[in-house]
A and B are shown apart, each in its own frame.
Chain A
């Protein structure tokens, strides 16, 4: 078989069929079968239009168009051939036969040179796999000679995906049509676009998650370091670190992004925009985290420092073995809130062209003229922020239960019961150390 195929190929290469000098293929197109878009989906009914012009000194009595392999005919498929002399239609077609491989058009009388042949095939489905497809074929002239046609200009076909299938199915549903007849619903909650946006914006979602999942962990050590500086013994260190924190917290992230993205190139520094986005987010978040950590560390009862000191532990040992482990549990809720804020703020990077959720949504909105992709983007943001909010709430409850008794100096049952009743007022009263705090 293979040998024969190779031989056939060799033969066809060495002795090319007569070129279709007598019939110039001018165009071959397929009508878009997408609801919103202009592409041709394979495997779905479309209308193919083919045109060819008869050259000088040629007369054509029969035309055969052959379709690419994999072509199928949908219900109600038909072909129509027209012979045009300029704008005038000539009655020249005798018969048109259509099957899944070809359309054969015979003419009553030979079509003379200079005339345009137009063949339209309705409800034909081009191959399902995406690719460029040409329509070939041949013609017979009045001398009985059969001449091969030059392949038509390619028709780009995109493959049918699940999403497109669902979209097409939705197109036909009466409820979708009546839903979309309401302007508000069509513009903001277009079912077809919801289906199209979800997979499309998924990439954007991953990009945004990537920004925050790299940026935030980067902000943690910076924030911790800054929080230490904020509590440093040296006044000048405290001062400098407070400038850092106050400037970053006192200016919009949007402004910081602009300064970084438009300022650095002036200095001849070019950083990959995705990386720079991460750096700006990390820097911004570090200032907030620094204050969260500082508050967390300072909320640890001073008895913990005293107990550590009284055991001979130095400041570093105390910090890392006693204070930070306790601080971690306390700052997790606020730090998670900060994570949520930062995650939402990744959207600001859209303004400087970093690929993230908003950019994906924006470009979809621009190409469809519909707001639905923004709504889907909102859904993706909520997909992260809502569960995290829940987690924070449950963590705070657990924390309140775990720390309620351990930090209270008096753990009498009576007192403990009161603590649970009023969790807010758990402060281990310093006033009990009467001698340390003389009044």
Chain B
């Protein structure tokens, strides 16, 4: 982590991002930069636009205007091969979105084979390795339906990691989980952060944010209201809206 941190370089850069759903403006000009190795936590009430922001970064939502750079590529340029970019942007969803017809191992193998064109043996080796990392070495051949929510989410993380992403996006990765299953997933995310992975995390887990994040971003009404070191944002919020929000959830 420190070695990467010494040569900061923006992995993701967002400029004046606007996003409308119909006539509803969800993002009202967001600017943000995420450096290599940085862990950014995005907080905010429902409807504040934080998930939309995250989904714009790999173009699951198409920005209405503004620019997004991934490393040296302007991905908002229509000529950009977005699938090429997505290979390097791992995403973890609130609802896991595992492929229900494939075992845990095959979930992790599929994109490696199809997108990265890895051999079956290599993809399988990496799949087992990644599943081991998220603590599921004994569940490789289980079908998603046979796994708990926490286990499914960890398979989803392994699936994203197997693609060697340059950045990982977590979209409320623990929100759909029972409290007792949340910890296992957060442990994996914490490990990942320690290992120097660049991460953008939308979450409601304040403890996790406080502990792991390099930077906390508070969004409300489609704009970034406040950002800074987590201890500052949480401990001494400067905006009333931030205080309100933090007051509500803690």
A binding-site residues for B, Cβ under 8 Å: 301, 303-304, 306-314, 317, 321-322, 325-326, 329, 402-407, 409-414, 428, 432-436, 438-439
Contact = CB atoms under 8 A, between A and B. Distances in A.
A406 to B, nearest CB: 4
Interface of B: 21, 24, 26, 46-52, 55, 58, 60-61, 83-87, 89-91, 93-101, 110-111, 114-115, 143-145, 148-149, 152, 156, 159-160, 163, 171, 175-178, 202
28 contacts: A301-B97, A303-B93, A303-B96, A304-B97, A306-B93, A307-B98, A309-B60, A310-B58, A310-B89, A310-B91, A310-B160, A311-B86, A311-B115, A311-B160, A312-B115, A325-B101, A326-B100, A402-B145, A406-B98, A409-B95, A409-B176, A410-B177, A432-B175, A433-B171, A434-B46, A434-B51, A435-B47, A436-B55
B148 A411 contact: yes
B117 to A, nearest CB: 11
Contacts of A432: 94-95, 175-176
Contact of B99 (A307, A329, A412, A436): A307
A89 to B, nearest CB: 90
Nearest to B222: A438
B87 A312 contact: yes
A160 B61 CA distance: 78
Nearest to B178: A412
Contacts of B178: 410, 412-414
Contact of A309 (B49, B86, B95, B202): B86
B98 A438 contact: no
A349 B182 CA distance: 62
A414 B148 CA distance: 12
B148 A313 contact: no
A410 B153 CA distance: 11
Q: Report which residue of B61, B89, B95, B171 has the largest number of chain A beta carbons within 10 angstroms of its beta carbon.
A: B95
B21 A410 contact: no
B94 A433 contact: yes
Contacts of B176: 409-411, 432
A325 B98 CA distance: 14
Contacts of A402: 100, 145
B110 A406 contact: no
B61 A329 contact: no
B14 to A, nearest CB: 16
B7 to A, nearest CB: 26
A406 B144 contact: yes
Given A313-B114, A403-B100, A438 B26 contact: yes
Contact of B49 (A308, A314, A435): A435
Nearest to B48: A435
Contact of B115 (A307, A317, A404, A438): A317
Given A311-B160, A312-B111, A406-B145, 14 more contacts: A306-B93, A306-B97, A310-B160, A311-B163, A326-B99, A406-B98, A407-B100, A411-B148, A412-B178, A433-B171, A435-B46, A435-B50, A436-B52, A436-B55
A410 B60 CA distance: 22
B86 A411 contact: no
Given A434-B51, A436-B61, A438-B21, A303 B97 contact: yes
A428 B95 contact: yes
A313 B111 contact: yes
Nearest to B90: A310
A436 B51 contact: yes
A414 B91 CA distance: 27
A413 to B, nearest CB: 8
